[in-house]
Amino acid sequence: MTSSVQVTTLDHPYSAPHPACQAKAPFDDPEAEIILRSSDNVEFRVFKLFLAFSSSIFRDMLSLPQPSDDPQTVDLTESSTVLRLFLLCCYPVTCLPTYPFQPSDIADVAEAAQKYDAPSVTTYLRQIILSPHNLQNKSVAAFAVCDRFQWREEAKKAAFHTLKHRLPTATGKRTQRAQQWFLESNAIPEALFIQLTDYHSRCGTAASNVGKELRWAISFPTKRPRHQCERVSVPRYSGFNTGGSITLPEWFADFVKETSELFAGDPDVQSVLADHRVSDALLIAGADCSGCRSAAPVFMQNNFVPQYRSRVEKALEEVELYT
């Protein structure tokens, strides 16, 4: 026979919606000293040591005298899904699931970690929110979770990875519906979405300015084509700051101008400086000038593009998320 303790925020007595069922391993050990029952009536057999080590709330509760030696049953308001993930975070690392935690799961478990004062669980959640899976596929949702729980450092990293995705705009009825779906699917409040949009805009400006400020590229004359290009840029490219009156090959000026404009609306380094765009520039270079045909590939692939990419990434990292 087991004793029962109720931990719930409900004002009325707990009533199970259906007969209790046993949780799967590792929460089915008959030697466990306590049973935690979820809101959907799933019973988790847990060892007190792991629970007390992770949560001060449970540690205090478990320190109280018990009416019998039988395992006590504690009714909780969390669902079995949330409770299982929370308890897995309390158990040794070998018990953790191999599949990635989704941002929505992390948010639910983070709430439980706050409720039960489990800082070690929160620390673990702040690590896995930045898993490769979440950053590549769920970066906006991950950012929303980080902001919600004021994980500022993680929020900045997640926001940086959202630059790989274009954010929807609400300029018409169709795009308004698309934006609403985007907000709901990523569980991001509208005010936070506006803040993220502003961050994207400022990142676009920072990335675009790198292409307009070319003194860093011109300062490496030994790594530029040493011949005189047969087709130098025309006056419309005079907006580039080259640190002097140096003229640029027309194909090169076209490439920098195009990428600079693309960065303004899409500050994704991998997309804007994609291999196909560099290859297109080299094809034009070869058609425009016989000297560039041989010199441009080495200059672009070994020197300019890697530096360009590095400087844009550095400029993006310096953009503040919260202003």
- For residue 137, being part of any structural domain is answered with no
Q: Is 89 contained in some domain?
A: yes
Between 213 and 88, name the one with better pLDDT: 88
The arithmetic mean of pLDDT across residues 225-233, rounded, is 54
**Residue 221 pLDDT greater than 50, yes or no:** no
**Taking Cα atoms as reference points, which of 237, 243, 163 lies closest to residue 206?**
163
Is the pLDDT confidence value at 240 over 90? no
Q: Is residue 68 part of a domain?
A: yes
The proportion of the chain whose per-residue pLDDT surpasses 90, expressed as a percent, equals: 56
Residue 120 has pLDDT above 50, yes or no: yes
pLDDT value for 274: 92
Please check whether residues 117 and 212 belong to one and the same domain: no
Judge contact between 20 and 42, C-beta under 8 A: yes
CA dihedral 132→161→311→207, nearest 10 degrees, is 160
| H or E element, residue 16 | none
Cα(256)–Cα(5) distance, rounded to whole angstroms? 68
pLDDT in tens, 158-194: 999 999 988 887 565 667 888 888 899 899 999 999 9
Distance of CA 166 to the CA centre of its chain: 14
Q: Which residues contact 79 (CB under 8 A, 6 or more apart)?
A: 38, 39, 40
Do 123 and 9 reside in the same domain of the chain?
Answer: yes
pLDDT bucket at 67, cuts 50 / 70 / 90: confident
Residue 81 is assigned to a structural domain of this protein: yes
Please give the structure tokens belonging to residue 94.
Answer: 């070998």
**pTM exceeding the 0.85 threshold for the entire prediction:** no
| Span between the terminal Cα atoms of the chain, in Å | 59
Domain membership of residue 323 (yes or no) is: no
Is 123 inside any structural domain?
A: yes
Residue 168 within a domain:
no
Domain housing 259: 204-317
Last residue of a domain, one of 78, 98, 128: 128
**Looking at the structure, do residues 109 and 208 belong to the same domain, yes or no?**
no
Tally of structural domains, the chain: 2
| pLDDT higher than threshold 90 for residue 251 | no
CATH number of the domain enclosing 65: 3.30.710.10
Residue 115 and residue 8 in one domain: yes
**Is the model's pLDDT at 12 over the cut of 90?**
no
* Domain-located, residue 230: yes
pLDDT-derived band at 276 (thresholds 50, 70, 90) equals very high
Final residue before a domain boundary, out of 101, 128, 155: 128
Model pLDDT for residues 94-119, shown as the tens digit of each residue: 666 666 789 999 999 999 999 999 99
Asked which of 65, 98, 128 is the last residue of a domain, the reply is 128
Q: For position 313, what pLDDT does the model report?
A: 95
Q: Which amino acid is at 65?
A: P
CB 5 within 8 A of CB 74: yes
CA distance 295 to 216: 19
